[in-house]
């Protein structure tokens, strides 16, 4: 299936819940009741009430109101921010987020993608919390044809990160990705640990990490806003990855995250296999979210 096909398939739930609320996209005149239905649909998909009100207010002024609504949604997410590159040494990516959002799976998918581009990829197992976490990562790394740096269970995650980057430099890797343990943003001890990982990465390579991607579970709802805010304070997030869009009717959360933080969504996850990761495209996303009618 094509990339767009997979996204469309993945977003089926969000789209179906919106479908019932949407009149024909070609309609040029909508009743108040129809507008109220559209607002409800978008709010239920987690686009956020204030954002929806803003779009609708603008759309009502347009001769093609639904087209205008669609354009505004695209504009909200279309943040043209080029990815940072390494000036020398490997491109270093730090991946963080709360428990179970799909960090390790996404790293497997990313490693696979970079390897397919002919890049030499090294992964640092800085989730030293559980032995099982390292084993899970090892399976992905092997599938992707990448390499991994690990230490024993309970090792200092910052030390693993430092080792990984040193090895990445010494062995001329193109890409280094650091996996981290999931942590809730309210756990100060664990957030401090993450800050230390970030600091130590800088010590290993001064312009690293080049990118810091926060992995958000697309079904999280409003709490995602708090998560992104807190993680950004600690690790200076540069981009978002939103996963599990195949299992949620709440794909609208991306729009709120983009609007509030002006952070680009780099990739979206729409399944559990290696290919189920795609570069984010605002137009394709809105297309997959809104019903076709």
Ligand X SMILES: Nc1nc2c(ncn2[C@@H]2O[C@H](COP(=O)(O)OP(=O)(O)OP(=O)(O)O)[C@@H](O)[C@H]2O)c(=O)[nH]1
Q: What is the DSSP string of 37-105?
A: HHHHHHHHTT--HHHHHHHHHHHHTSSSHHHHHHHHHHHHH----PPP--SSS-EEEEEE-STTSSHHH
CA 180 to CA 152: how far, in whole Å?
15
CB of residue 284 to ligand X, shortest distance in Å:
16
Q: Which is nearer to ligand X, 90 or 97 (CB)?
A: 97
Q: Which does 243 bind (CB under 5 to 8 A by kind): Mg ion, ligand X, none?
A: ligand X
Which residues form the interface with ligand X (CB under 6 A)? 97, 99-105, 127, 133, 181-182, 243-244, 246-247, 269-272, 276
Task: Give me the phi and psi of 277, to 5 degrees please.
Answer: -135, 135
Partner whose footprint covers residue 6, from Mg ion, ligand X, none (CB < 5 to 8 Å by kind): none
Q: How far apart are CA 292 and CA 16, in angstroms?
A: 10
Helix (H) or strand (E) holding 223: helix 223-235
Contacting residue, 15, 103, 150, 250, with Mg ion by CB under 5 A = 103
Q: For helices 12-19 and 32-44, give the axis angle rounded to 10 degrees.
A: 160
Q: Report what 271 binds from Mg ion, ligand X, none; CB cut-off 5-8 Å by kind.
A: ligand X
**Near Mg ion by CB under 5 A, which window of 22-30, 48-56, 102-110, 248-256?**
102-110
- 59 vs 245 by CB, closer to ligand X: 245
Q: Which does 244 bind (CB under 5 to 8 A by kind): ligand X, Mg ion, none?
A: ligand X
Q: Which residues bind Mg ion (CB under 5 A)?
A: 103-104
């Amino acid at each position: 299936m094509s990339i767009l096909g997979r996204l469309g398939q993945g977003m089926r739930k969000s789209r179906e819940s919106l479908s019932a609320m949407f009149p024909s996209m070609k309609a040029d005149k909508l009743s108040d009741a129809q507008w109220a239905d559209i607002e409800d649909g978008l709010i239920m998909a987690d686009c956020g009430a204030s954002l929806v009100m803003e779009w609708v207010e603008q759309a009502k002024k347009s001769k093609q109101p639904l087209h205008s609504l669609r354009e505004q949604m695209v504009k909200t997410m279309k943040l043209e921010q080029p990815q940072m590159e390494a000036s020398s040494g490997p491109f270093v990516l730090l991946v963080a987020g709360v428990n179970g959002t799909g960090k390790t799976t996404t790293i497997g998918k990313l490693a696979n993608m970079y390897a397919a581009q002919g890049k030499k990829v090294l992964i640092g197992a800085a989730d030293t919390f559980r032995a099982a976490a390292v084993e899970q990562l090892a399976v992905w790394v092997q599938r992707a044809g990448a390499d991994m740096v690990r230490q024993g269970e309970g090792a200092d995650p910052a030390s693993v990160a430092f080792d990984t980057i040193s090895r990445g430099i010494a062995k001329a890797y193109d890409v280094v990705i650091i996996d981290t343990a999931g942590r809730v943003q309210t756990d100060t001890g664990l957030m401090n640990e993450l800050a230390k990982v970030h600091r130590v990465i800088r010590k290993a390579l001064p312009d690293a990490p080049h990118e810091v991607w926060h992995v958000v579970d697309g079904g999280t709802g409003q709490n995602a806003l708090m998560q992104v805010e807190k993680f950004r304070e600690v690790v200076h997030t540069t981009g978002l990855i939103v996963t599990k869009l195949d299992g949620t009717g709440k794909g609208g959360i991306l729009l709120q995250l983009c609007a509030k933080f002006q952070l680009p969504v780099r990739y979206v996850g729409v399944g559990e296999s290696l290919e189920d990761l795609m570069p984010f495209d605002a137009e394709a996303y809105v297309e997959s979210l809104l019903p076709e009618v």
